[in-house]
Amino acid sequence: MGKKKGRADVRERFGLAVKVRREALGLTQEDLAAAAGIHRTYLSDVERGTRNLSLINVERLAAALQVTMAELFAAVDAG
């Protein structure tokens, strides 16, 4: 596996972790984006694994998802 593929995989796993948690909370993309202070299309890109996030946005998403960053990353590792 090349570096490029590995990066895509982690973005996809992160996006899936965000989506699973968002759906578990019964939130729409619009709800979560508003709570995190990001645009809905940005969140859509995150969930599809096409966006590379800054740590600031990871922290915002974790807070809006009511989990710690560590819990969010643990879900990524488990995926």
Per-residue model confidence as pLDDT tens digits over 39-63: 999 999 999 999 999 999 999 999 9
Res 70: pLDDT:
97
Q: How confident is the model at residue 5 (pLDDT cuts 50, 70, 90)?
A: low
Both structure tokens of 33? 């984006």
What is the number of structural domains in the chain? 1
CATH of the domain at 26: 1.10.260.40
- The CA distance from 77 to 62, in Å, is 15
56 DSSP 8-state letter: H
pLDDT band at 1 (very low <50, low <70, confident <90, very high): very low
> Residue 52: left (phi > 0), alpha (psi -120 to 50), or beta?
beta
- What's the domain range around 20? 3-78
Total residue length of the chain: 79
